[in-house]
C-alpha cells in the first residue's frame, strides 16, 4: 500500500491553482504581481518535491525551510491582491496556503527533534 504524502499533494495542488490564478491576473494585465506570485507559489511545491530526494535529514529540513520562506512570499503577493481594489482575489488560495504553512511548520519541527535524537 502506497503511503499518502499530504504535504507533497498540497504543494502540487497549490501550484496548479496558482498557475490558474496567475493566468487570470495576466488576462487583466497585472503582469508584475502575476510573475512574482507564479515564482513564489510554484516554488513551494517544487522545494517540497525536491525534499523527497534529500541527501540527509538536514538537507530535507533545509529544503522545507525554503518552501516555508517561499510560502511567506506568496502570502505577501496574495495579500496585495486581497487589499488592492483593482485586483482579483481568491480566498481559497489564502486558506490552502495557511494549511501548507501549518503542515510545513509541523514537519520541520518534528524533523528537527528527530534529527537531534539520532
DSSP per-residue codes, 34-61: HHHHHHHHHHHHHHHHHHTT-SSHHHHH
State the residue for C-alpha cell 540527509: 56
CA dist list (Å): 48 to 1, 8, 39, 110: 22, 6, 14, 16
CA gap 42, 40 in Å, rounded:
6
CA gap 22, 27 in Å, rounded:
8
Domains of the chain, CATH where assigned = 6-117 (1.20.1440.60)
88 by DSSP, 3-state: which? coil
State the residue for C-alpha cell 527533534: 113
pLDDT in the model for residue 117: 66
Q: How far is CA 39 from the centre of its chain?
A: 10
pLDDT in the model for residue 114: 80
Mean pLDDT by 10 residues, the chain (118 residues): 88 98 98 98 98 97 98 98 98 98 97 78
CA gap 99, 116 in Å, rounded:
26
Amino acid at each position: 500500500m502506497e503511503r499518502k504524502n499530504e504535504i507533497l499533494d498540497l504543494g502540487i495542488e497549490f501550484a496548479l491553482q496558482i498557475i490558474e490564478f496567475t493566468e487570470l491576473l495576466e488576462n487583466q494585465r497585472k503582469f508584475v504581481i502575476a510573475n512574482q506570485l507564479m515564482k513564489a507559489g510554484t516554488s513551494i511545491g517544487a522545494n517540497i518535491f525536491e525534499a523527497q530526494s534529500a541527501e540527509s535529514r538536514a538537507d530535507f529540513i533545509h529544503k522545507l525551510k525554503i518552501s516555508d520562506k517561499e510560502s511567506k512570499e506568496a502570502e505577501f503577493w496574495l495579500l496585495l491582491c486581497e487589499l488592492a481594489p483593482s485586483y482579483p482575489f481568491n480566498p481559497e488560495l489564502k486558506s490552502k496556503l495557511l494549511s501548507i504553512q501549518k503542515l510545513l511548520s509541523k514537519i520541520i519541527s518534528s524533523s528537527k527533534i528527530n534529527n537531534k535524537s539520532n
